[in-house]
C-alpha cells in the first residue's frame, strides 16, 4: 500500500463526510492509514443504493464490494480500484469476512420497506456503522473484550447519525423508525446511552491509536441526551451541534476519552 492510495481515500472521505474526515484527522497517523480505506469503503457501499432507482443495478453495485471482500479473504491480488486496492492493504481475512455484513445492511437502503422490527433496526445500525469501526480498532490493537464495549459506543454514534437523517429519509418516502412516537425515540436514545455507561474505563485502557476509530461516535454522544429530553428535535431535523462545540468535543475526546461521556 502506498501513500497515494491513502490520500485518494482521504479525499473521498473529505468530499463525502466532513465530520468523519475531521474525526479521522484527529487520530494518530497509523490509525488514519487504516481508517481512511475503511471509511472510503463504507461510504462507497452506503451510496451504492442511492445512485440508481433500479434495484437490480443497486444490488450489483453491492455485489461488487462483496466480491472485493471475498478476494481479500481468499488472498487474491487486489483490484486496480482506488478504494479496493488500499482496503486490501489494511484488512485481514477476519475483518473482510465481518465487513460483508456491512454490505448486507445496505440492502435496506435499496427498497422502501420499513425495518422489520427493532432488532432488525439495531442490526442495521450496528453493521452499517459500528462494525467497521470496531474492526478498525481490532486491527489497531484493541482486544476482543474491548471490542464488545466499542460496539456499544459505535451503535450509539450510529443512532445519532441516523436520527439526523430521519427527516431526509421521510422526504424520500422511507419509514425510518420502527416506532415514530416521541416516547419511542426518547427510549431509543436512553437505551443507547445506558449501554455505553461505564465505557470510559475500557477506553482509557486502550492506546490512542486503538480507540481512534470511535472518535466520531464519541464526539456526538451528547446529542443522544438532547434526543432523550427533546425527541421532537429528531423528527423536526433540529438534532445538531454547533461547529465550534463539535470541534471542541472532538479535540477533547481524541485526547481524553472520559470526555466522551460528559
Distance CA 84, CA 254 (A): 28
- What is the per-residue pLDDT across 7-57, written as a single tens digit (0 to 9) for each? 999 999 999 999 999 999 999 999 999 999 999 999 999 999 999 889 999
User: Can you give the pLDDT at residue 1?
Assistant: 58
179 and 255 housed in the same domain: yes
Distance CA 65, CA 21 (A): 22
- What is the per-residue pLDDT across 213-239, written as a single tens digit (0 to 9) for each? 999 999 999 999 999 999 999 999 999
194 and 252 housed in the same domain: yes
Number of domains in the chain: 2
Report residue 15: phi and psi, to 5°: -70, -40
162 and 181 housed in the same domain: yes
CA-closest candidate to residue 26, choices 224, 232, 260, 209: 209
196 and 228 housed in the same domain: yes
85 and 185 housed in the same domain: no
If DSSP codes are grouped into helix, strand and coil, which group holds residue 87?
A: helix
Tell me the residue range of the domain where 170 lies.
113-262
Kindly tell me if the per-residue pLDDT of 2 is higher than 90: no
Pick the last residue of a domain from 89, 111, 133: 111
What secondary structure letter does DSSP report for 246?
H
8 and 132 housed in the same domain: no
- List, as one string, the DSSP characters of 161-193: HHHHHHHHHHHTT----S--SHHHHHHHHHHHH
Confidence of residue 256 (pLDDT cuts 50, 70, 90): confident
User: Rounded mean pLDDT of 141-156?
Assistant: 96
User: Can you give the pLDDT at residue 81?
Assistant: 92
120 and 106 housed in the same domain: no
64 and 51 housed in the same domain: yes
What secondary structure letter does DSSP report for 32?
H
User: Can you give the pLDDT at residue 80?
Assistant: 87
107 and 144 housed in the same domain: no
203 and 187 housed in the same domain: yes
105 and 123 housed in the same domain: no
Taking CA atoms, 126 is separated from 4, 60, 80, 162, 244, in Å, by 30, 23, 29, 11, 28
Pick the last residue of a domain from 111, 142, 171: 111
105 and 129 housed in the same domain: no
Pick the last residue of a domain from 111, 132, 154: 111
- What is the per-residue pLDDT across 109-125, written as a single tens digit (0 to 9) for each? 999 999 999 999 999 99
User: Can you give the pLDDT at residue 262?
Assistant: 63
Amino acid at each position: 500500500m502506498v501513500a497515494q492510495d491513502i490520500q485518494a481515500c482521504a479525499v473521498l472521505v473529505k468530499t463525502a463526510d466532513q465530520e468523519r474526515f475531521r474525526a479521522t484527522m484527529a487520530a494518530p497517523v497509523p490509525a488514519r492509514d487504516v481508517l481512511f480505506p475503511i471509511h472510503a469503503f463504507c461510504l462507497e457501499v452506503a451510496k451504492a443504493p442511492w445512485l440508481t432507482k433500479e434495484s437490480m443495478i443497486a444490488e450489483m453495485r453491492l455485489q461488487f464490494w462483496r466480491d472485493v471482500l471475498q478476494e481479500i479473504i481468499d488472498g487474491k491480488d487486489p483490484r486496480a480500484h482506488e478504494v479496493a486496492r488500499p482496503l486490501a492493504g489494511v484488512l485481514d481475512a477476519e475483518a473482510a469476512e465481518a465487513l460483508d455484513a456491512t454490505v448486507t445492511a445496505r440492502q435496506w437502503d435499496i427498497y422502501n420497506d420499513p425495518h422489520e422490527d427493532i432488532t432488525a433496526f439495531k442490526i442495521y445500525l450496528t453493521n452499517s456503522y459500528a462494525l467497521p469501526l470496531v474492526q478498525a480498532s481490532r486491527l489497531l490493537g484493541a482486544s476482543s473484550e474491548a471490542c464488545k464495549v466499542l460496539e456499544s459506543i459505535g451503535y450509539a454514534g450510529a443512532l445519532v447519525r441516523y436520527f439526523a437523517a430521519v427527516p431526509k429519509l421521510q422526504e424520500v418516502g422511507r419509514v425510518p423508525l420502527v416506532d415514530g412516537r416521541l416516547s419511542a425515540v426518547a427510549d431509543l436514545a436512553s437505551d443507547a446511552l445506558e449501554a455505553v455507561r461505564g465505557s470510559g474505563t475500557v477506553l482509557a485502557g486502550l492506546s490512542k491509536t486503538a480507540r481512534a476509530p470511535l472518535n466520531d461516535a464519541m464526539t456526538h454522544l451528547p446529542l443522544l441526551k438532547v434526543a432523550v429530553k427533546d425527541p421532537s428535535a429528531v423528527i423536526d431535523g433540529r438534532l445538531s451541534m454547533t461547529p465550534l462545540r463539535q470541534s471542541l468535543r472532538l479535540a477533547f475526546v481524541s485526547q481524553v476519552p472520559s470526555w466522551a461521556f460528559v
